[in-house]
Amino acid sequence: MNILNYTEDHHAFRKRFNEYLAREVIPYAAQWEKDHIIPKEAWKKVGQAGFLCTNVDKKYGGMGGDFLYSTIVCQELTKTCQTGLAMSLHSDVVVPYIDEYGSEEMKQRFLPGCVSGDIVTAVAMTEPDAGSDLSSLKTTAVEDGDEIIISGSKTFISNGIHCDAVVVAARDPKIDNPYQAMSLYIVEDGTPGFSRGRHLDKMGWHSQDTAELFFNDCRIPKENLLGEKGYGFLMLMGKLQQERLVCSMGAIYGARQVINGAVDYFKTTKDASGKPLSKYQAIQFALVEMETEVKIAETFVDKLIADHMEKKDVKTETSMAKFWTTDLANRVTGRCIEMMEDLGMVEQNPLVQAWRDFRITSIFAGTNEIMKFIIAKLMQL
Ligand SMILES: Cc1cc2nc3c(=O)[nH]c(=O)nc-3n(C[C@H](O)[C@H](O)[C@H](O)COP(=O)(O)OP(=O)(O)OC[C@H]3O[C@@H](n4cnc5c(N)ncnc54)[C@H](O)[C@@H]3O)c2cc1C
């Protein structure tokens, strides 16, 4: 039984996207990992090929597709083992803020560039002293005539180096209640007072740029307020369902890659007597256990995708999926590496990169402890 109904159009899109990846991404993925960044050109190329922001309406240059196009992009991109071309972050996490909350003028100004890859986006919430607890944000936004002055710093911002437009969470210092004080603003590259700090060197996700951002009396036009003033926290919360779902998709599509790779490895690797390792019951049972868990998670995530597409409220379930699938991906990868013994440890083994990359997934988009904290609240515990 298929939970998700992919049409002929979806299949054709997947085929075109895979051809694109084979030509423009896979040959360069290893080099991008070594460089710890991708060339900015890669964003324009993929945008011009029609694979960014597939959900954006045709009148802004998008294809007006449903969320299944996002699942295809996420699934196929995961197989390339590179994280720099963070298409899901741009198309399914950041651009939806502009698409849903932006004024008509703002949409006309930004969305066509987001679709074409001329505008790479980022979202900046985290600060040196404010991660999980957004109520402790210190970045301020002060109105001054037709302008807003943003002051403060952000850290661990994905696409921080390449971004042309950043959705920044900042607070009005005159309002005491931190939730009512928070608004979202778009800061554009080149605005005086906006600068980038260190390009952070991470244990995984090497090809993805993650950076510090600084706002030093950075003056933006009032029109760059996203949505209504004081609704920043609610807007962030409103978009977390999709963000957590996208994280779960990335984790489970990655775990599927790992388990498929491990099954191949144990079937084709033989012991001294010529017996494939997959014929040993200890190996079989371990692979069966992991395959079972991955299959259960795939089914759960597919059901959440279907529910999300029907606009159901699945905040509790997507929070469950985020912590469970990212933990599962970590668990499966670690166990497979151990079962491969010495070969599991060599840098050339793709699972080594997967192990490093998955480690990060339990931290971003809300740590897995925070997911449990939210679920406990939603369960009224
Ligand atoms: C690779 C990467 C990319 C990122 N990209 C972005 C981005 O694009 N934009 C952005 O804004 N941020 C980004 N982040 C930041 C990320 O969202 C934060 O790291 C995360 O929210 C945790 O914040 P923190 O690191 O300050 O940890 P803290 O909030 O200080 O938490 C420290 C530890 O305490 C635990 N903890 C905190 N509060 C509670 C609680 N109430 N109950 C139980 N345990 C708790 C946490 O789970 C964690 O283990 C990124 C991070 C990484 C690593």
- At the top level of CATH, the class of 234-378 is mainly alpha
- Span 76-115, pLDDT tens digits: 999 998 899 999 999 999 999 999 999 999 999 999 999 9
**What are the phi and psi torsion angles at 11 (to 5°)?**
-60, -40
Active site residues: 243
Report the DSSP beta bridge partners of residue 213. 154, 196
Query: Which residues neighbour 351 within 8 Å (Cβ) at sequence distance 6 or greater?
Result: 258, 261, 262, 333, 336, 337, 340, 344
Q: Is the pLDDT of residue 234 over 90?
A: yes
Supply the pLDDT for residue 376: 95
Q: Which atom of ligand 1 has the smallest separation from the CA of 122?
A: 8
126 in contact with ligand 1, CB cutoff 6 A: yes
Distance of CA 17 to the CA centre of its chain: 18
151 in contact with ligand 1, CB cutoff 6 A: no
Q: Which atom of ligand 1 has the smallest separation from the CA of 202?
A: 1
Q: What is the pTM of this model?
A: 0.96
Residue 344: band (very low, low, confident or very high) from pLDDT cuts 50, 70, 90: confident
157 in contact with ligand 1, CB cutoff 6 A: yes
Q: Report which protein residue has its CA nearest ligand 1's atom 48.
A: 367
Q: Which atom of ligand 1 has the smallest separation from the CA of 205?
A: 1
48 in contact with ligand 1, CB cutoff 6 A: no
Q: Which atom of ligand 1 has the smallest separation from the CA of 130?
A: 26
Ligand 1 center to 130 CA (angstroms)? 8
Pairing of strands 210-221, 194-199: antiparallel
Q: Is the pLDDT of residue 345 over 90?
A: no
Query: Which residues neighbour 135 within 8 Å (Cβ) at sequence distance 6 or greater?
Result: 178, 179
CB 42 within 8 A of CB 27: no
- Tell me the CATH number for domain 8-118: 1.10.540.10
- Span 20-72, pLDDT tens digits: 999 999 999 999 999 999 999 999 999 999 999 999 999 999 999 999 999 99
155 in contact with ligand 1, CB cutoff 6 A: no
205 in contact with ligand 1, CB cutoff 6 A: yes
What is the percentage of the chain residues whose pLDDT exceeds 90? 96
CB 303 within 8 A of CB 245: no
Q: How far apart (Å, rounded) are the C-alpha atoms in residues 116 and 112?
A: 6
Nearest to 207 by CA among 119, 337, 45, 77: 77
User: What topology is assigned to 123-230 in CATH?
Assistant: Butyryl-CoA Dehydrogenase, subunit A; domain 2 (2.40.110)
Ligand 1 center to 381 CA (angstroms)? 23
- Span 289-332, pLDDT tens digits: 999 999 999 999 999 999 999 999 999 999 999 999 999 999 99
Ligand 1 center to 323 CA (angstroms)? 13
Supply the pLDDT for residue 2: 85
Ligand 1 center to 351 CA (angstroms)? 25
Q: Is the pLDDT of residue 265 over 90?
A: yes
Q: Is the pLDDT of residue 343 over 90?
A: no
Our mutation pick for probing the ligand 1 site, out of 182, 364, 368, 373, counting the most ligand atoms within 8 A of Cβ, is: 364
Ligand 1 center to 88 CA (angstroms)? 19
Q: What is the average pLDDT across 251-274?
A: 96
Q: How far apart (Å, rounded) are the C-alpha atoms in residues 354 and 87?
A: 18
Q: Is the pLDDT of residue 183 over 90?
A: yes
207 in contact with ligand 1, CB cutoff 6 A: no
Q: Report which protein residue has its CA nearest ligand 1's atom 1.
A: 360
CB 162 within 8 A of CB 84: no
Q: How far apart (Å, rounded) are the C-alpha atoms in residues 36 and 51?
A: 23
∠307-291-240 over CA atoms, to 5°?
Answer: 30
Ligand 1 center to 368 CA (angstroms)? 9
Our mutation pick for probing the ligand 1 site, out of 156, 158, 330, 368, counting the most ligand atoms within 8 A of Cβ, is: 156
- Span 129-170, pLDDT tens digits: 999 999 999 999 999 999 999 999 999 999 999 999 999 999
What is the percentage of the chain residues whose pLDDT exceeds 70? 100
Q: Is the pLDDT of residue 1 over 80?
A: no
Average pLDDT, the chain: 96
Q: Is the pLDDT of residue 341 over 90?
A: no
Ligand 1 center to 360 CA (angstroms)? 10
Ligand 1 center to 3 CA (angstroms)? 33
Residue with tokens 């795939």: 298
Q: Report which protein residue has its CA nearest ligand 1's atom 35.
A: 369
Distance of CA 290 to the CA centre of its chain: 24
Domain ranges of the chain: 8-118, 123-230, 234-378
Tell the burial category of 275 from Cβ atoms under 10 Å away from its Cβ (0-12, 13-18, 19+): exposed
Q: 147-161, 164-178, 334-348: lowest mean pLDDT where?
A: 334-348
Q: Which atom of ligand 1 has the smallest separation from the CA of 158?
A: 8
**What are the phi and psi torsion angles at 346 (to 5°)?**
-75, 145
Q: Is the pLDDT of residue 262 over 90?
A: yes
323 in contact with ligand 1, CB cutoff 6 A: no
